[in-house]
Structure 1
Amino acid sequence: MRQTSRQVCLTFDACGGPYGSKVDTGLLKLLRKHRAKATLFLNRRWIEANQKLAAELAADPLFDLQNHGTRHLPLSVSGRKGYAEQGTHNVGEVYDEVMGNVAILTELTGSRPRFFRSGTAHYDEVAARIVRELGMVPTNFSINGDAGTTFTPSQIVESMAPTKPGDIVIGHMNQPRNDTAEGMARAIPALITRGIGFAHLVDVV
């Protein structure tokens, strides 16, 4: 990320399927309250479960929608896991995981996605190269905002405290029963107080 300003990129994943297709409306309200731009990585299954909301988010300039894959698989050409999640096994499965969500996102937003984040943000070197050859940037993060929604509010605040211009923060927007919104309600104003603003990935990478 180019450090041309005092901005960070807030990114939130919507993982879909067994990883959750619900909506953290509290988090979305918080981002809108603070006019905090955010890049939302949407899984195909989450989009299919929330078509009306996905269209609403696509129409809101506060949010930029990007590709979080088709089945939320870690990206590998050898079946490596990301945490406990089974990854793709070969080039064909990598292609299907990446491209299986492109058409629906393109129709939703009017433009082809430029960024891709795999399930668990895991890539091996070959899989990352394939993503680039398919015209997307494999996207990781530098600040783990909510640890897959397992953090308490206090842990979220603590994890977000070191955030500096140029960082990419990851959080999640599909588990409303957990503490992401409550923690971010404390962490985001603290960043604003420090003079930090928020940018879409597409504007700075």
Structure 2
Amino acid sequence: MITLSSCEVGNREAAQGAVEVSGAPTVTTTPTLTPTVSRETTTPSAVSTPIPIAQDTPTIPPTIPSAAPSEPRSSPSLDFSSLEKTLIERYGNAKPKKWGENVPGVRTHLTTKEQVIALTFDACGGKEGSGYDEKLIDYLIKENIPATLFINARWITANKDIFAKLAANPLFEIENHGTEHRPLSVNGKLAYGITGTKSVNDVIHEVKDNADQIEKLTGRRPVFFRSGTAYYDDIAAGIVHDLGFQLAGYNVLGDAGATYNTEQVYNALLKARSGSIVLAHMNHPEKDTAEGIMKAIPELKKEGYRFVHLASYTLN
């Protein structure tokens, strides 16, 4: 099934509705915001040391347990140049075996039986992707609806004052949508016509540089990463894990890169279920995402659903 998750490409026959997927969880730490909604009680698990990956059989460590949400961490104390060298040595000659939105390590559901949904909105940046859907955000604020915002470095540069206001509002959890909004690859693989990162070093900086910027501006280091187009190869996914982040996928395609009309957005959201993660966009005010969201949320509320941050729950 082909789904569209990039805000920089045109409409194509994207799947409408929920896409049920799963991936092997891989995480080292799970820092979080103080939640503004009730959260599921979990017990932290011991975290295993990342397993070195053999050059001829690249894979992501499958046995690292999930960790419950914890307090925000401070900046990594490990000297970055040493970490970068270690990762290049570990993954430099590894050859990817998997490619797509749901490689092992991509987390697509909240681990819960509660009637909760995580709304996530990407802000991709760039020439045609640096707009601000004020109608959407104002509606979320008016209705007191938490949401997780995946922000690209280019969008931050184009919207510094708006970013500061969003980051200061506890309704919004700020997460990492990359530095140049690229698919995450070690060999330049394309997704929807966008060239991916081309090396281990490129992967590291696509993730880390924007995380550093967000931490500097907000005082909180992102917990989750979502690449441009939401595509990864398995080597890149392992690198993200070793950098200390979780890969945030989705199981409800909310607006197909802001190409859905109002009814399509509405119908997609009504297929959300307990623990669903919805992917939509907040950087195209000229599109119909806001109208579809505003139409769907009252219906979901009537069905008993609440809306939560990603970091308020363990993901799987």
Q: TM-score range by the shorter chain?
A: over 0.9
Could you say which structure has the larger radius of gyration?
Answer: 2
Using the alignment, how far apart are the partners of 1:103 and 1:45 within structure 2? 14
Alignment of structure 1 residues 160-171 onto 2, 5 Å: 160-171=269-280
1:83 has 2:155 as partner = no
- Percent identity over the alignment is 46
Once the two structures are TM-superposed, the CA of residue 19 in structure 1 deviates from its matched residue by 4.1
Q: Secondary structure at the match of 1:18?
A: coil
RMSD of aligned C-alpha atoms? 1.0
Using the alignment, how far apart are the partners of 1:48 and 1:89 within structure 2? 24
Q: Secondary structure at the match of 1:5?
A: coil
Q: Secondary structure at the match of 1:154?
A: helix
1:65 has 2:177 as partner = no
Q: Secondary structure at the match of 1:11?
A: strand
Q: Secondary structure at the match of 1:150?
A: coil
Counterpart position of 1:3: 112
Counterpart position of 1:155: 264
Counterpart position of 1:191: 300
CA deviation vs aligned residue, 1:66-100 (integer Å, no higher than 9, x gap): 00000100001122112221111111111111112
Mind listing any 5+ residue stretches in structure 2 that lack a counterpart? Answer: 1-109
Q: TM-score, normalised by structure 1?
A: 0.97
Once the two structures are TM-superposed, the CA of residue 36 in structure 1 deviates from its matched residue by 1.1
Counterpart position of 1:139: 248
Match of 2:125 among 13, 16, 27: 16
Using the alignment, how far apart are the partners of 1:19 and 1:64 within structure 2? 24
Using the alignment, how far apart are the partners of 1:159 and 1:102 within structure 2? 30
Give runs of ≥4 in structure 1 deviating > 3 Å. Answer: none
Q: How many residues align?
A: 205
1:37 has 2:146 as partner = yes
Using the alignment, how far apart are the partners of 1:130 and 1:101 within structure 2? 15
Once the two structures are TM-superposed, the CA of residue 53 in structure 1 deviates from its matched residue by 1.0
Q: Secondary structure at the match of 2:127?
A: helix
Q: TM-score, normalised by structure 2?
A: 0.63
